[in-house]
Amino acid sequence: MCGIVGAVAQRDVADILLTGLQRLEYRGYDSAGLAVQASQGQVQRLRRLGKVEALAEALAQTPIQGGTGIAHTRWATHGQPSEANAHPHQSGPIMVVHNGIIENHSELRQQLQQQGFEFQSQTDTEVIAHLIASFRQQGHALLQAVMATRKQLTGAYGMVVMDEQSPEQLVVARSGSPLVIGAGIGEHFIASDQLALLPVTQRFAFLEEGDVALIERRSYQVFDSQDQVVERPLVESTVEHDAGDKGQFRHYMLKEIYEQPQAIANTLEGRLENGQLNLEALGDLSQVEQVQIIACGTSYHAAMTARYWIESLAGVPCNVEIASEFRYRRSVVRPSSLLVTISQSGETADTLAALRLAKDIGYQQTLAICNVPGSSLVRESDMALMTRAGAEIGVASTKAFTTQLVALMLLTVALGRGRQLSTEQEKDIAAALAHLPALIEKSLAMNSDIEALAQRFAEKHHALFLGRGSQYPIAMEGALKLKEISYIHAEAYAAGELKHGPLALIDAEMPIVVVAPNNELVEKLKSNIEEVRARGGELFIFADEAAGLNTEGNVMVLPVVHCDNRIAPIVYTIPLQLLSYHVAVIKGTDVDQPRNLAKSVTVE
């Protein structure tokens, strides 16, 4: 999704803006631009289609000096990717960068055209620039012009406005799309996420829904949706390390896959000590009679896995739904339900909207499982269980997923206590979790075997992933990873479902990836594997050696470390992540920023 950076400083800010944009590249975008204003001087704007690199080259040829500036990476929604549609958008002295969608842009465009404003782009954003300019023409100061403008907008926005006639000021507004203010010494910054600003500050203030702020070099002032002054205090950043560095790795995705043992250990810290699970932070869940989980994409797959755990281990009914479906259907709220949202970013528009709807329709207790402290989801939920994966830069989610699963296993235990989960079972789960970082290390040792195997996928156009029970969502996640970074069409099926249709797809050209731990379903899974073998499919099976799989024929079995079946979904995720990564590298795709995708989907 679009990335925003802004600065009001005494020094030149073009390089700070550019670095900020580079650090937001992971969010996904198709064009980039910036505008800088010298004090009392004219605003200069530069925009390029394509990567931030192209903007950096243009800036190197035409350096722009000045201490106030705004910058943007655009992920096209209204209007194709082009230089004319790239931000900042201009209306006379006004420059605007915007993240979100203005839903009533067509009618506003018509009104503004009737007033004589000429449009240079096909974007919804340009109406904001002209609206602010029209209020300025009526004599409003910049801040008041933005406040008046937002009252006319329907939709979502995080926006930053610069005005040639108000140098050394930026006005920002948030409704639906997050913005953080960064404080330096005698300078202030604004960005759509902290990562953009970590090279210049560690102190941030988080804007809330409906806020407007006036940002100047030495101060910032925030107003709520009623235009009343409100405090949004500065806090030290909790982003532990500067994740904007790939280190020895070729891609962020690979780095993040390898960070999983540490990310899981961090997620367990303080929650698992001396073999005991400390789950007090989750409060009293003894009254919960039903769990409803809502999430999107990879986070939805974590939710699907948790459903198996929560029902079989804790004995609590659990329902899982994709946020974009939940938010547009009338669902029934059962009494004493716990509403759980799962999100890496905590800013996914559909998940946030679903949470808000859930509260409106009567859910009394809400829990967010999230990786970003201070995110909207965390702030708007009653409780939060943080995943502590550290910043995830690769668009394809990896360490966020496995740490979500760890958090969900903790939730399962918290729900199961006092119900059907025995003390003995809890002890076994605690022991398995304690062992998990080491098991993930062992799974990572499969890397070179998987790299070799990946060659066999590079020429394929389709693939099937099979699993059963709690491994079915892991097969779904494996298929999603392959699709999103290698662009190979992949589908996952619960293996027992094959005979109801998908078996028709099997021939010698179809690779079939199977996840096969040695659990209570393995004999059933073996029968499903035989159904595929009999039809000549090319099988790649990630299996526990103790499962005793038949290796005859067109079958490759890759042994996975033996582990407790309750945590096996987490362990079996690793080889599937590595497989999709290596296939994508062989295919030469943009692994960290796959086409058409955004890291954090802050629009509907």
Q: CB 61 → ligand F6R: shortest distance, Å?
A: 36
Stretch that binds ligand F6R, among 219-227, 280-288, 337-345, 426-434 (CB under 6 A): 337-345
Task: List strands edge to edge, sheet with 155-163.
Answer: 89-91, 94-102, 155-163, 170-175, 212-215, 220-223, 229-230
How many beta carbons lie within 10 A of that of residue 557, not counting itself?
A: 17
Q: To 10 degrees, what angle do helices 399-416 and 297-309 make?
A: 30
Q: Which residue, 30 or 592, has its beta carbon nearer to ligand F6R? A: 592
Q: Does 387 bind ligand F6R (CB under 6 A)?
A: no
Three-state SS letters, 42-69: CEEEEEEECCHHHHHHHHHHCCCCCCEE
Instruction: Report the run of H or E that residue 436 belongs to, with start and end.
Output: helix 423-444
Residue 330 in 3-state DSSP? coil
Q: Which stretch binds ligand F6R (CB under 6 A): 129-137, 294-302, 562-570, 585-593?
A: 294-302
Dig out the tokens for 492 from the structure: 């996952």
Which of positions 121-160 make contact with ligand F6R (CB under 6 A)?
none
Residues contacting residue 105 through CB under 8 Å, at least 6 positions apart: 78, 124, 127, 155
The least CB distance from residue 393 to ligand F6R, in Å, is: 11
How many residues line the site for ligand F6R (CB under 6 A)? 15
Number of residues assigned to the chain: 604
Q: List Cβ<8 Å contacts ≥24 apart for 237-242.
A: 237/194, 237/198, 237/202, 237/203, 237/204, 238/373, 238/374, 239/194, 239/195, 239/198, 239/390, 239/391, 240/390, 241/390, 242/198, 242/199
Determine the interface stretch with ligand F6R among 189-197, 218-226, 340-348, 425-433 (rule: CB under 6 A). Answer: 340-348
Residue closer to ligand F6R by CB (options 296, 314) is 296
Minimum separation from the CB atom of position 548 to ligand F6R (A)? 33
Least distance to ligand F6R, CB of residue 376, Å: 11
Q: CA angle 289-291-296, nearest 5°?
A: 170
Name 72's bridge partners. Answer: 4, 33
Residue 310 beta carbon to ligand F6R: minimum distance, rounded to whole angstroms: 19
Two structure tokens written together for 333: 């709220």
Angle in degrees, 0-180, between the axes of helices 472-486 and 568-587, rounded to the nearest 10: 20
CB of 399 to ligand F6R, least distance (A): 11
> Per CB under 6 A, does 343 bind ligand F6R?
yes
Query: Least distance in Å: CB of 348 to ligand F6R?
Result: 3
Peptide bond before residue 502 is cis, with ω within 30 degrees of 0: no
Site membership for ligand F6R, residue 354 (CB under 6 A): no
CA 321, 325, 326, 332 torsion-angle sign: negative
* Using rule CB under 6 A, residue 345 touches ligand F6R: yes
Nearest to ligand F6R of 528, 593 (CB atom): 593
Active-site choice (51, 255, 481, 599): 599
Binding mask 433-472 for ligand F6R (x = CB under 6 A): ----------------------------------------
User: Sheet of 462-467: strands edge to edge?
Assistant: 489-494, 462-467, 511-516, 538-544, 555-560
Site residues for ligand F6R, 395-434, by CB under 6 A, read: 396-397
Bridge-based pairing state of the strands 489-494 and 462-467: parallel
Catalytic residue among 2, 296, 318, 563: 2
Q: Does 296 qualify as catalytic in the annotation?
A: no
In the bound state with ligand F6R, the residue whose beta carbon lies nearer, of 4 and 539, is 4
304 interacts with ligand F6R by CB under 6 A? no
* Pairing mode, strands 94-102 and 89-91: antiparallel
Beta strands at 489-494 and 511-516: parallel, antiparallel or unpaired: unpaired
- Comparing CB distances to ligand F6R, the nearer of 264 and 353 is 353
2 classed as catalytic: yes
Q: Which residue is nearest to ligand F6R (CB)?
A: 297
- Give the shortest CB-517-to-ligand F6R separation in angstroms: 23
Distance CA 133, CA 111 (A): 14
Among 20, 67, 297, 467, binds ligand F6R (CB under 6 A): 297
Binding residues among 95-124 for ligand F6R as defined by CB under 6 A: none
Q: CB of residue 350 vs ligand F6R: minimum separation in angstroms?
A: 8
Pick 339 or 516: Cβ nearer ligand F6R: 339
Pairwise CA distance, residues 261 & 85, whole Å: 43
Residue selected from 37, 91, 192, 298 as contacting ligand F6R according to rule CB under 6 A = 298
Select 6 or 297, whichever has its Cβ closest to ligand F6R: 297
If the CB atoms of residues 470 and 602 are measured against ligand F6R, the closer one turns out to be 602
- Among 344, 518, 577, 602, indicate the residue that binds ligand F6R (CB under 6 A): 344
Q: Which residues are catalytic?
A: 2, 599
Q: Which residues bind ligand F6R (CB under 6 A)?
A: 296-299, 343-345, 348, 351, 396-397, 480, 484, 600-601
